[in-house]
Amino acid sequence: MIAPGYKVTLVLPARNEAGGIAKIVEQVRPFADEVLVVDGRSTDGTADAARAAGARVVVDGGKGKGDGIRTGLREAASEVVVFFDCDGSHHALDIPNLLAPISLGAADLVVASRALGGSDEYRMNFEHLLRQWGSDFATWLVNARWRAQLTDIQNGFRAGFREKLLGLRLNANHFDVEEEMVMKALKKGLRVAEVPSHEYERQWGASKLATSEGWRFLVRLAREMV
Ligand SMILES: Nc1nc2c(ncn2[C@@H]2O[C@H](COP(=O)(O)OP(=O)(O)OP(=O)(O)O)[C@@H](O)[C@H]2O)c(=O)[nH]1
Ligand SMILES: [Mg+2]
């Protein structure tokens, strides 16, 4: 039992991650009562590889990562869920840290912070600077609006109480789902905490997040702020 008193479902959103999905399922298994892979209609055999590795597999509605997160929340069998990307960016050994504030009754949602834990994905080029500025700006705005002191509102690696997260009625279909979750949680008065976690470079396959999708984050910020 990794979070004393609670059962935990590891929700793994995966779209075309056949290169490493089996490895991820194995890495997170010691920390999970249930391993649930949410397949984003992959065409590379991700779902079969996940099943062969022992995960339960459900398929999302094909609309994007936000759809995958909602599907995972709906389908998870445990009271606590951990979202964990399937590109090798996170370390499974950070899961107990992420769950500690939940077990201690100190938080409803805990986000793994790359600002506190560092990132290998950072590159000194224009595209990455743009992403970093956008992300810092979004975090600053959210902190100012809800008097919070967060450092990373967009990391996909996070944990929370399933019922409380379902109660947020998330509707983002894309990568803006993570900031939507944080903003709606703050709005509702849920306790949002962070723990440091290092982000590693994607280990296989290709990123599903194009920088040109950045406008979605801005529209989402505007929608939830007012
Ligand atoms: N179920 C589901 N999962 C998805 C979908 N799109 C992306 N994912 C998964 O979401 C996780 C994060 O996607 P990434 O492409 O790594 O995006 P990111 O980490 O925000 O961005 P990068 O910094 O470019 O890696 C990965 O495990 C993807 O396979 C989708 O439409 N449905
Ligand atoms: Mg990634």
Two tokens, residue 36: 């649930």
State how far the alpha carbon of 196 is from the alpha carbons of 68, 97, 122, 216, in Å. 25, 9, 16, 26
Lowest mean pLDDT among 59-63, 112-116, 132-136: 132-136
Mean pLDDT of 8-22: 98
Inside any domain, residue 3: no
- Cβ atoms of 183 and 111 within 8 Å: the answer is no
**Which domain covers residue 29, as residue numbers?**
8-225
pLDDT of residue 125: 85
DSSP3 helix / strand / coil % (the chain, rounded to 5)? 45, 15, 40
Inside any domain, residue 37: yes
Closest Cα to atom 2 of ligand 1: 40
Inside any domain, residue 1: no
Q: Are strands 158-161 and 192-196 parallel, antiparallel or unpaired?
A: unpaired
Sequence-distant (6+) residues with CB within 8 A of 184 are 168, 169, 170, 224
Output the CA 101–ligand 2 centroid distance in Å.
24
Inside any domain, residue 163: yes
Reduced to 3 states (helix: H, G, I; strand: E, B; else coil), residue 80 is strand
Angle at 121 between CA 116 and CA 127, to 5 degrees: 115
- Residue 126: band (very low, low, confident or very high) from pLDDT cuts 50, 70, 90: confident
Residue of 85, 197, 204, 216 best suited for mutating to test ligand 1, as the one with most atoms within 8 Å of CB: 85
Sequence-distant (6+) residues with CB within 8 A of 223 are none
pLDDT of residue 24: 98
- Above pLDDT 70, what percent of the chain? 100
Output the CA 38–ligand 2 centroid distance in Å.
15
Encode pLDDT of 205-221 as tens digits: 999 998 888 899 999 99
Say if pTM beats, i.e. exceeds, 0.85.
yes
Asked if pLDDT for residue 151 goes beyond 90, the answer is yes
Inside any domain, residue 194: yes
Taking the C-alpha atoms of residue 99 and residue 78, their distance in angstroms, rounded to an integer, is: 14
- Residue 27: band (very low, low, confident or very high) from pLDDT cuts 50, 70, 90: very high
How many domains in the chain? 1
Mean pLDDT of 156-160: 98
pLDDT of residue 116: 97
Average pLDDT value over all residues in the chain: 96
Sequence-distant (6+) residues with CB within 8 A of 176 are 66, 216, 217, 219, 220
Q: Which of 68, 58, 83 is nearest to 8 (CA)?
A: 83
Output the CA 89–ligand 2 centroid distance in Å.
6
Higher pLDDT, 164 or 123: 164
Inside any domain, residue 135: yes
pLDDT of residue 212: 87
- Cβ atoms of 88 and 18 within 8 Å: the answer is no
Asked if pLDDT for residue 166 goes beyond 90, the answer is yes
CA-based R_g, the chain, Å: 16
Encode pLDDT of 36-85 as tens digits: 999 999 999 999 999 999 999 999 999 999 999 999 999 999 999 999 99
The amino acid at residue 164 is K
Inside any domain, residue 127: yes
Residue of 87, 131, 175, 216 best suited for mutating to test ligand 1, as the one with most atoms within 8 Å of CB: 87
pLDDT of residue 1: 63
- Judged by its nearest atom, the ligand closest to the C-alpha of residue 60 is 1
Inside any domain, residue 84: yes
Taking the C-alpha atoms of residue 80 and residue 91, their distance in angstroms, rounded to an integer, is: 19
- Residue 146, judged by CB atoms within 10 A of its CB (0-12, 13-18, 19+), counts as middle
Two tokens, residue 187: 């709005």
